[in-house]
Structure 1
Amino acid sequence: MDLVKNFQFSRILSNSTDSKKIYLLGTIDSQNAIVAIEKVAFDLDPKSLSDYKSLGIDQLRLLDINDVYSWNMATLIQNIDSNPAAKVNVIYPASDTHIKKYQESKPRYIVETPELYQKYVAPYVESMRGDRIKWVHQILFKGTEAERVLTRVDEDPSGRNGTFVLLPDLKWDRKTLETLYLIAISIKDIASIRDLTEAHIPMLESIRDKIYATVYEKYGLEPSQLKIYVHYQPSYYHFHIHVTHVQLQQNDFGRSIFLDSVIEQLRHLGPEGFSKATLTYLLSDTHDLWTNGFSKELR
């Protein structure tokens, strides 16, 4: 089925002029669907920039000129293989959770104590496991997306249990290094950083070191050129680590914790780890944890 051609637009969920991305809600065969359209980064290959036509400029109209400055509007030559205009991602069928995730919202500052975690977050996490993360289990155990996997560690020879799968995130065009975005998914059954204790430090260090080695081997990027971090709250509750180029600008302030900071905090939190820590973060006011939980406790 051609999902995009069958998409019937209903409304705009959200739009970002900074990231040049728009999320559209509609239906495909009477079921909710989300289409995300994002303009791609320019090709920075010097060969592609060597002459006027290779810049991709088709038509040019002068808007204004003042001394050494001029302003123009242009249309660009597009080619689906060498110079695509945009990335188009589809979520179908889209659940209410998907819709809430991508619709326009306002952030709330959360101070999550261990007591609030047990009261609201732990039951929510449990409800978001199982079939909700079936797609993760298919990557880990069924070979789905195997062609995209950069490295897979099923047995850690170091004895540190750092078993994981590393693959490109669908947000990345797999071409522009400055927008590199990878995901490392732990094979161990861990939901989020709340489950981590000091016993997991060797595992986290092993995963981090293997990420460094793999990214250098594949893309020539050194550790100081990478951001390696986790989200809390995460988008899905199977422990995963984000790996991006340091130049990539992400709209995830208030959710991100560098992996090295996680490791260092675990050294001081004792055997119970993050389960007894108070965590602060930003949460969308459309998130179920806010509407069905924290809004009753926090203002």
Structure 2
Amino acid sequence: MEKTPIGHDSLAEMLKDSTLELKMKNDIYSTYQLIPPAHLSDMKTTVICPATQKHVKKYQVQETFLVEETEEDYRSITLPYIQSQSFSVQWVYNILEKKAEAERIICEDPDPKTGFVLLPDFKWDMKQLDDLYLIAIVRSRDIKSLRDLRSEHVPLLENILRKGQEAILKKFSVPACKLRIYLHYQPSYYHLHVHFTSLSHDAPGCGVERAHLLSDVILNLKGSPMYYQKRPLFFPLQADDNLAVKFREAGKLPNC
């Protein structure tokens, strides 16, 4: 559960009709407990049913470590872990096949190699642009993550960048200079997707330890075709994450 953003259209009513309880006052500074009218107290709730243990761990507060994954670590630890797990991305295929959420699609390209669909992320309620958040899901089903990208995928990434920006400008009047466009590593699910968020929104996972700007990814692949297969990558892992267990067993998790 999370509190929905306060909309500009409801701010005046909230300031006028809310109940205020003074908590602290010091000179010109005061702190109040504000209780808004019931119809302005809504919360956004996400339900995962049935939830797996992986889902439960994702939302638990845990100690977090920054992990350095080398090319060899990926081959010997991460990739076998991915291949051994039953990470279901059927919900992604449902979107690509328009079996679900078809009405939410903002933009789509049917090309099997460079195509994608763009739709709002569940984190965005589409009520205001300050927290704009969309996801572009590639049609190709053989690209799991950033690690699989090579120079041959540059046309796909450039297509997502250009058409995604154009679609968001046309639909929401938000120009490219106000967008943060990036990929996660590690991703939350292993089917390549790109995040489009408002530059003014500190979206979960947009920090430098996990987010890789799409424009940087394109430039790196143009300069070195195997860049993301060869270079070490850093990413955060929660203590009880199953992948963290594998890194710990291999003696690769730092002692912090």
TM-score (norm 2): 0.90
- 2:224 aligns with one of 269, 286, 290: 269
Alpha-carbon distance, 1:274 to partner: 1.8
Q: Contact conserved, 1:163 with 1:186, CA < 8 A, in 2?
A: yes
Corresponding residue for residue 148 of structure 1: 104
Alpha-carbon distance, 1:72 to partner: 2.5
Q: In structure 1, what is the Cα distance between the partners aligned to 2:24 and 2:230?
A: 61
Q: Aligned residues: percent identity?
A: 36
Q: In structure 2, what is the Cα distance between the partners aligned to 1:54 and 1:61?
A: 14
Corresponding residue for residue 234 of structure 2: 280
Q: In structure 2, what is the Cα distance between the partners aligned to 1:140 and 1:128?
A: 22
Alpha-carbon distance, 1:84 to partner: 4.7
Q: Contact conserved, 1:166 with 1:184, CA < 8 A, in 2?
A: yes
Q: Kindly indicate whether structure 1 or structure 2 has the higher relative contact order, using CA contacts under 8 Å at least 6 residues apart.
A: 2
Q: Contact conserved, 2:182 with 2:196, CA < 8 A, in 1?
A: yes
Q: Contact conserved, 2:22 with 2:31, CA < 8 A, in 1?
A: yes
Q: In structure 2, what is the Cα distance between the partners aligned to 1:268 and 1:91?
A: 41
Please give the secondary structure, in 2, of the residue aligned with 1:262. helix
Question: Which one-letter code corresponds to 2:5 in the other structure?
Answer: A
1:88 to 2:45 alignment: yes
Corresponding residue for residue 39 of structure 1: 3
Corresponding residue for residue 71 of structure 1: 31
The total of aligned residue pairs comes to 250
Corresponding residue for residue 185 of structure 1: 137
Please give the secondary structure, in 2, of the residue aligned with 1:175. coil
Q: In structure 2, what is the Cα distance between the partners aligned to 1:67 and 1:279?
A: 50
Q: Contact conserved, 1:57 with 1:74, CA < 8 A, in 2?
A: no
- 1:113 aligns with one of 67, 70, 77: 70
Gaps of 5+ in 1: 1-36
Please give the secondary structure, in 1, of the residue aligned with 2:56. helix
Gaps of 5+ in 2: none
Q: In structure 2, what is the Cα distance between the partners aligned to 1:185 and 1:73?
A: 42
Question: Which one-letter code corresponds to 2:201 in the other structure?
Answer: L
- 2:159 aligns with one of 206, 209, 227: 206
Residues 9-48 of structure 1 mapped to structure 2, 5 A cutoff: 37-45=1-9, 48=10
Please give the secondary structure, in 1, of the residue aligned with 2:30. strand
TM-score (norm 1): 0.78
Corresponding residue for residue 61 of structure 2: 104
Alpha-carbon distance, 1:58 to partner: 3.0
Comparing both structures, which one devotes a greater share of its residues to strand? Answer: 1
